[in-house]
Amino acid sequence: MNPDGSSVSPAIEARGVAFHAGGRSILQNVDMAVAAGEIVTLIGPNGSGKTTLIRILLDVLKPDSGEVIRRPGLTVGYVPQKVAIDPALPLTVGRFLRLGGKAGDSDVAAVLAEVGLPAVAGRMLAGLSGGEFQRVLLGRALLRRPDLLILDEPTQGVDVGGQLDLYALIARVRRQRGCAILLVSHDLHLVMAATDRVICLNGHVCCHGHPEAVTGDPAYIALFGPRAAELAVYSHDHDHGHDLGGRVLGDREHPHHPHPHHAPPHRHDAA
């Protein structure tokens, strides 16, 4: 796969997508695309139609007008926003991962190692922490060998240190697998550094482009307030996070030790 997304045809593309529900317009004339090897982040306030757009891209909802063009043979991995599994349903991590499709024990072990959770396949799902659970969800999506990974608020319920770990992991997945990645987020400050392009949504695409450009855009400032511009460009370089990623993986073997030191010192400026 070509990591340089700009020169290849997009993995997925929305053209003029509109959607109404209950007499209210949710999305109007949305154009967007994600190419292989590219991380695109969808931001927007609550109710701006982010999740609706995701559902349309996933082919779970049909747009009222406009179209979604998927590259032929495209496999999509999806990490949903909220997964509340009834505590009465006994599931091990390994079984949960295998529910998504046909995967052997070795595939499960490999993907768990990839998301930094080796040796949890036999543990009960209900016993995982928020951060561990998000990684398992990512692992289930990765088991499908996706060309496009869609993550809806992947850091929900994860502490700040864990969020940085997750974004580092997502960056590594992109590097190693070269898949297209679409993130939905509203934690602006963390996501801005982890993304190639930002699409700012509020029913329609308000502005889009590189994070630095978007945060200076009047539409962005109008939507998130003037302070967001100073907050947002948080240039912690995740590509230099190799060491960080490595140490994080090491720490995962002692999950009871919190590791606030992994959060860079300037996170308080951003928060």
Among 141, 146, 157, 150, which residue's Cα sits nearest to residue 53? 150
* Nearest-approach distance from CB 126 to other proteins, in angstroms: 7
Residues touching other proteins, count (CB under 8 A): 27
Q: How far is CA 117 from the centre of its chain?
A: 18
Which one of the spans 74-82, 107-115, 164-172, 191-199 is the region binding other proteins (CB under 8 A)?
74-82
Name which position in 15, 70, 144, 247 contacts other proteins (CB under 8 A).
144
The window from 79-87, 160-168, 180-188, 231-239 that contacts other proteins (CB under 8 A) reads: 79-87
Using the CB atoms, write b or e for 38-49: b if 16+ within 10 Å: bbbbbbbeeebb
Q: How far apart are the first and last CA of the chain?
A: 36
Choice between 138 and 205, CB closer to other proteins: 138
d(CA 236, CA 238): 6
The answer to whether the CB of 143 falls within 8 A of the CB of 135 is no
Find the shortest distance in angstroms from Cβ 46 to other proteins: 18
Residue 189 to residues 60, 177, 241, 242, 269, Cα–Cα distance (Å) = 30, 25, 17, 21, 10
**88 belongs to the binding site for other proteins (CB under 8 A):** yes
Q: Which residue reads 């509020």 in tokens?
A: 202
| Shortest Cβ 146–other proteins spacing (Å) | 10
Assess 100 for contact with other proteins (CB under 8 A). yes
Q: With CB under 8 A as the contact rule, which of the stretches 10-18, 31-39, 107-115, 120-128 interacts with other proteins? A: 120-128
- Out of 1, 74, 85, 213, name the contact with other proteins by CB under 8 A: 85
Instruction: Tell whether residue 109 is a contact of other proteins (CB under 8 A).
Output: no
The smaller minimum CB distance to other proteins, of residues 120 and 190, is found at 120
Q: 3-state class of 154 per DSSP? A: coil
- Choice from 53, 76, 115, 168 touching other proteins (CB under 8 A): 76
Q: Which of 1, 113, 126, 222 binds other proteins (CB under 8 A)?
A: 126
Candidates 26-34, 86-94, 107-115, 261-269 — which segment interacts with other proteins by CB under 8 A? 86-94
In terms of residues, how long is the chain? 271
| Half-sphere exposure (Cβ direction) of 59: Cα atoms closer than 13 Å | 9
Give 206: exposed, middle or buried? Use CB within 10 Å, 0-12, 13-18, 19+: buried
- Site residues (CB under 8 A) for other proteins, limited to 209-268: none
Site residues (CB under 8 A) for other proteins? 22, 55, 58-60, 76, 78, 80, 83, 85-86, 88-92, 95-96, 99-101, 124, 126-127, 140, 144, 150
